[in-house]
Amino acid sequence: MTANPTIEQQLLRTQKVMSALDEWGLSGEQILAVLDMPATERSRHLARYRKDTPFPDDEKVKCRVTFLLGIIDALRTTYPRNLQMGARWMAKPHVRLKNRCPLQAMLEDGENGVVAVLSELDCAYAWELSGSKIN
């Protein structure tokens, strides 16, 4: 990710994330929660993010978008031949998420849940989080 993405890059990221959140079957309120949107945002505002408006320039939202793009990319590489499997994976309970589905973990645990889902999907990311080093 570049330090200062262009408006076009921001819009493409926004649309990619919104598309995935829609595919995962989240409601408007759930989308706002997963994105950690500012309290001023309402679910009726989400339509603009699907069309022509990038997400707000908010550090919390930017952080969530980065994590969500990691999840989206990991699902794409895990299921390259069947993109619908990503949505199924997100709705299936997992032992390492306390027998909750990833969507439930993200909604209940906020950023920690999003990071846990990303770690479950991306072992390289989990390795970085562990602080492990190659000697």
CB-count burial class (<10 Å; 0-12, 13-18, 19+) for 30? middle
Instruction: State residue 131's pLDDT score.
Output: 59
φ, ψ of residue 100 to 5 degrees: the values are: -105, 160
Residue with tokens 């849940």: 113
Q: Is residue 135 part of a domain?
A: no
Q: Is residue 64 part of a domain?
A: yes
Q: List, for residues 34-67, the tens digit of each pLDDT value.
A: 999 998 888 888 999 999 999 999 999 999 999 9
Q: Is residue 29 part of a domain?
A: yes
Give the Å distances, CA to CA, from 4 to 1, 7, 86, 96, 127. Answer: 9, 9, 29, 35, 27
Q: Is residue 2 part of a domain?
A: no
Say if residues 21 and 50 touch (Cβ distance below 8 Å).
no
Residue 25's identity, in one-letter code, is G
**pTM attached to this predicted model:** 0.88
Q: Which of 75, 76, 49, 77 lies closest to 61 in space, CA to CA?
A: 49
Instruction: State residue 44's pLDDT score.
Output: 87
Instruction: State residue 41's pLDDT score.
Output: 87
Q: Is residue 105 part of a domain?
A: yes
Domain span including residue 119: 7-130
Domain count, the chain: 1
Low-confidence ranges of the chain (pLDDT < 50): 1-2
